[in-house]
Chains A and B, each alone.
Chain A
């Protein structure tokens, strides 16, 4: 690895850890839940799910991953509220740049803009080609601005991609963006940290691996109220459009988990847990299991994970929920990312 590449890796690591360290407060106590004629505050169990989901999303480290196991009397709705927590944490920690998978999929001649992390200079250019050399992916970008650099080809590898903060020109609003505006409006009622660019960005905040028909049945008729406004849980989680390119929350069945890359994956149940080895990349994991589903076989997996775990970084421990209601059994490990 060259000195430059090492420096970029270190910077990337530092910037991610800095993101993790940025504690984002949510006014969850202002949130009300409506089901039918009944309205109530967020119960302690739901609050714990929100915080676990937020924690899973907020800790991001290039070389480490967080894995949280939660055993419960029932895991119904656990994935729903944890996803909401991840969504909120993702929006709050958003930095306006595009992700590698999206960057890789850009057609030739797409105009992109970036800022070099070293000297903070701004550039524009067009994507020309994608190549793979010695097992490493490269994207070639022809610089168009500034004029002094025009015509120079920049070879961007996955390893040094994050040192450039790439972004696309703002896209015209479409239906998906309109829906996300509603989501952003809801989240801004709970925290002031949601960047305008989050709506337009293609960042995926969370992948929920679960039985989607059970999920839809469970959230039917459930609404969230904050500061006088009411939102259905369906419109906040955008479950119906979950598989589209711009969705913030993706929902997948255990057999389709390898199609989506996400910073945190919520595995709802033993079937979802069994699919963890097929996940793309090394995302953080939050695993929910019913007490009768947590058996000796899964316990062996947890134990072997414990043996290979590392010291939990302070930045990670900082955002961890501290206590849980009766019935929750929780443990967490940090391991090396693959």
Chain B
């Protein structure tokens, strides 16, 4: 039986009745925590580094309360310890004393009351489901933030009390994509859930209904549904909309607390890289690995090498190139020990890139100095605008990349022609001897050289793939969180296979030499 056909049919059925059911709990202490935290965040200067620890600690307390389904006195939540830390960080901030005191008082009330209304709601949903149909499947999202989500200790997921709920814990997008559900439960509003996972939850058709457990005042995060720009043909496309339902009463005055900064702060604390484009910096994303290490990988659609894991029970493994957006929790990333983008380096080490090639690079990129000269008097944005007048729609960043050594030049002939014509127009290239035929010739040379480099890349790719897969293909050998693979007898070529835990989707700007350099972040405080 084709599971795929059955599942896809169900996905489209689910889409037909896509509902978001908000289960809103009115809880006075929680409301006071939200208000106290909001007052605290407002009173502190976000730019001041000193207050950062205090803000983060307040966020941890708030997120623990909002996310958890455990009784509030559960020792694994460590709420008392977190309150102690919050009070410690508060010293030196007189303006924070009052809101912190309000938060602490409300949390202690919750600890005293013990009972968690979200747990009661979840039990109701599980009971309601099993009563009407014992085969009903309910999944609960427990990937509530990058790193370790406050309120969801790992020990709880392995405990008997969680098993008794007969609910499937979904910790990754892969978990979610493996089966369909009758209900998907989100234990919180989702403001720190990775966007791709949220998009899958609300628009992926994995269940006909998403049940969101909210406290009054807690913000519900629904990602925008990006739609394709319309073309000339008037297709009759029915854009589906989420149907919202609510039980109890929906929050009438939701608190607009922007908690996104908490996620950003988590990453900043971890890697500390610049968020703004600086001189000689490249756009990159930070990848945190399961073994506690991490590294920056460049932005781009085929920037990293990924090892596809064997399905359970064995089967072939495979290597492919992927972009940051393709990386998921538990993806296996392959890096060369010591850093660097190994594809091209190795290709040139193999002799594909010799002196003759260096001369050829000069031969096909001779125009870069002219573009560089143009950028002395014009900004990248202005050059981008001028190119648009010549029919080439490229971003200012692309223009900047063309000047750099890491990019050979435009990838499309139209862009190349527009650039040459602009350089002639701006008198950065002497028009004598350069006509359209000559530009065609120059484009062909560039294209041929690029093709040659791609072949070189493919050659080394193939060679490394073969060697690596020879060791692991069709074997049931488990690949750990950090597996070192020797690809040469003398140990000069060594690959690391690392399991991804989380990816910072906001770009950072780092020096090229920082890329692929694996650092140990195990000691960092906010690692979780």
Q: Do A and B bind each other?
A: yes
Binding site for B on A (CB under 8 A): 33, 35-38, 43-45, 69, 71, 73-74, 76-77, 135, 213, 217-222, 253-255, 270-271, 274, 277-278, 290-297, 299-300, 302-304, 306-309, 311-312, 317, 320-333, 338
In angstroms, Cα B173 to Cα A307, docked, is 34
List 20 interface pairs A-B (beta carbons < 8 Å), by A numbering: A33-B5, A35-B6, A36-B1, A43-B12, A69-B228, A76-B4, A255-B321, A271-B301, A290-B204, A292-B196, A292-B197, A299-B226, A303-B229, A308-B393, A312-B233, A317-B233, A324-B238, A326-B238, A326-B240, A330-B237
Contact residues in A for B16 (Cβ distance below 8 Å): 326
B438 within 8 A of A: no
In angstroms, Cα B5 to Cα A293, docked, is 21
Contact residues in A for B302 (Cβ distance below 8 Å): 271, 274
Binds A, one of B290-298, B322-330, B493-501: B322-330
Contact pick for A135, options B226, B233, B444, CB 8 Å: B444
Contact of B323 with A306 in the complex, beta carbons under 8 Å: no
Contact residues in B for A294 (Cβ distance below 8 Å): 226, 228
- A271-B321, A294-B228 known; 17 new pairs, CB 8 Å cut-off, are A36-B2, A71-B228, A73-B11, A73-B14, A74-B8, A77-B5, A219-B4, A222-B5, A255-B320, A255-B321, A292-B200, A296-B226, A326-B238, A329-B227, A330-B228, A332-B232, A332-B233
Contact of A218 with B4 in the complex, beta carbons under 8 Å: yes
Contact residues in B for A297 (Cβ distance below 8 Å): 301, 325
Q: Which of A73, A308, A320 has the most CB of B within 10 A?
A: A73
Contact of A311 with B232 in the complex, beta carbons under 8 Å: yes
In angstroms, Cα B320 to Cα A253, docked, is 9
Contact residues in B for A332 (Cβ distance below 8 Å): 231-233, 235
Nearest A-chain residue to B6, judged by Cβ: A35
What is the number of residues of chain B that contact chain A, defined by CB distance less than 8 Å?
57
B205 within 8 A of A: yes
Contact of B461 with A218 in the complex, beta carbons under 8 Å: no
In angstroms, Cα B4 to Cα A38, docked, is 13
Contact residues in B for A217 (Cβ distance below 8 Å): 4
In angstroms, Cα B1 to Cα A35, docked, is 5
Contact of A270 with B9 in the complex, beta carbons under 8 Å: no
Quick one: which of B214-262 are within 8 Å of A by CB?
Answer: 225-233, 235-240
Distance between B194 CB and nearest chain A CB, rounded to angstroms: 10
Contact residues in B for A213 (Cβ distance below 8 Å): 315-316, 318
Contact residues in A for B238 (Cβ distance below 8 Å): 324-326, 328
Given that A43-B12, A324-B237 are known contacts, is A270 also in contact with B325, CB under 8 Å in the complex? yes
In angstroms, Cα B230 to Cα A309, docked, is 12
Contact residues in A for B204 (Cβ distance below 8 Å): 73-74, 290-292
Contact of A331 with B230 in the complex, beta carbons under 8 Å: yes
B199 within 8 A of A: yes
Contact residues in A for B393 (Cβ distance below 8 Å): 304, 307-308
Contact of A277 with B2 in the complex, beta carbons under 8 Å: no
Distance between A140 CB and nearest chain B CB, rounded to angstroms: 24
Contact of A274 with B301 in the complex, beta carbons under 8 Å: yes
Contact residues in B for A293 (Cβ distance below 8 Å): 325
In angstroms, Cα B6 to Cα A37, docked, is 12
Contact pick for A302, options B8, B228, B316, B461, CB 8 Å: B228
B213 within 8 A of A: no
Contact of A218 with B11 in the complex, beta carbons under 8 Å: no
Contact of B235 with A306 in the complex, beta carbons under 8 Å: no
Distance between A242 CB and nearest chain B CB, rounded to angstroms: 17
B203 within 8 A of A: yes
Contact pick for B2, options A35, A74, A300, A324, CB 8 Å: A35
B413 within 8 A of A: yes
Distance between B142 CB and nearest chain A CB, rounded to angstroms: 18
B15 within 8 A of A: yes
Contact residues in A for B323 (Cβ distance below 8 Å): 270, 274
Nearest B-chain residue to A304, judged by Cβ: B393
In angstroms, Cα B6 to Cα A77, docked, is 11
Nearest B-chain residue to A222, judged by Cβ: B2
Contact residues in B for A306 (Cβ distance below 8 Å): 229, 231
Contact pick for A331, options B5, B14, B235, B391, CB 8 Å: B235
Contact residues in A for B205 (Cβ distance below 8 Å): 73-74, 327
Contact pick for A77, options B4, B200, B391, B444, CB 8 Å: B4
Contact residues in B for A296 (Cβ distance below 8 Å): 226
In angstroms, Cα B224 to Cα A292, docked, is 11
Contact of B199 with A292 in the complex, beta carbons under 8 Å: yes
In angstroms, Cα B328 to Cα A183, docked, is 39
Contact of B7 with A329 in the complex, beta carbons under 8 Å: no
In angstroms, Cα B14 to Cα A303, docked, is 30
B458 within 8 A of A: yes
In angstroms, Cα B3 to Cα A76, docked, is 11
Contact of B226 with A270 in the complex, beta carbons under 8 Å: no
Contact of B12 with A221 in the complex, beta carbons under 8 Å: no
B42 within 8 A of A: no
In angstroms, Cα B240 to Cα A285, docked, is 25
In angstroms, Cα B225 to Cα A303, docked, is 16
